[in-house]
Amino acid sequence: MRKVWMITVAFLLAIVIGGASASSASFVSPENDSKMNKNHHHRHHLMKEKAEELMNQGYTKEEIFMGAMLSKKSDKRIEDVLSLYKEKNKSWEETAKELGVDNEELEKIKSIQQWGKFVEENREDVIKQLAAYSNTKVEGIEAYIKDGYPLHFLIGAAAVGNLSNQSLEEILKYKKDGKSFHDIIKELNIDHMALRDEIEKFQNDVKKEVENKQD
């Protein structure tokens, strides 16, 4: 369980500290040319070390996640954000206010964190739902994950596939060609609001499936 969170936090730190956009960073392909692949893994390793370092300083995985998101939103170092968070008696509301991040943005960040926690706790159910949603076998989804595609990316790619009437495999081919998420959305003429709604629909459906199992 800790390993899953470490990978997620390291990925986010790579975006924040590396200065890349979330979309372009998430579309770095494990099968791209060897130089890009080597640099990607090197940066990912460094960010994993950064996450480990922060956890060894006493910060929780949730605090590191929130700190990384606010770091990106405010263009501040994650260390400075977490230090400010301590000064504000561990209040994210006060920390965000000091950084100039409004409540609406803070709630979006919290929502992302809550979804990440849900996926962590219900990973098997999310994979099964994604397989059904993308008309892919569970083994196929697990193979993509083993190949280095994050689960959250596969969900977004599947949503793009549904909106463009293409399979998940076809969307992943764009990634293998080195195209960014923004490039793919633009090329396929995907409306951003429609994509957001599609992903939210998937999230709601899988949450209902989990709730029904618990009844």
State the average pLDDT over residues 5-9.
Answer: 52
pLDDT interval class at 113 (50, 70, 90)? confident
pLDDT of 47? 66
Whether pLDDT at 20 is above 80: no
Say which range, 93-97, 146-150, 154-158, 192-196, has the weakest mean pLDDT. 146-150
Q: Are 210 and 127 in contact (CB under 8 A)?
A: no
What's the rounded Cα separation, in Å, for the pair 174 and 172?
Answer: 5
**What DSSP character marks residue 89?**
T
Say which range, 11-25, 122-136, 140-154, 192-206, has the weakest mean pLDDT. 11-25
CA distances from 195 to 97, 135, 155 (A): 29, 18, 11
How buried is 193 (Cβ within 10 angstroms: 0-12 exposed, 13-18 middle, 19+ buried)?
A: exposed
Whether pLDDT at 30 is above 70: no
Question: Does the pTM exceed 0.75?
Answer: no
Q: Are 151 and 123 in contact (CB under 8 A)?
A: yes
Which percentage of the chain shows pLDDT scores above 70?
Answer: 78
Q: Are 71 and 16 in contact (CB under 8 A)?
A: yes
pLDDT of 35? 38
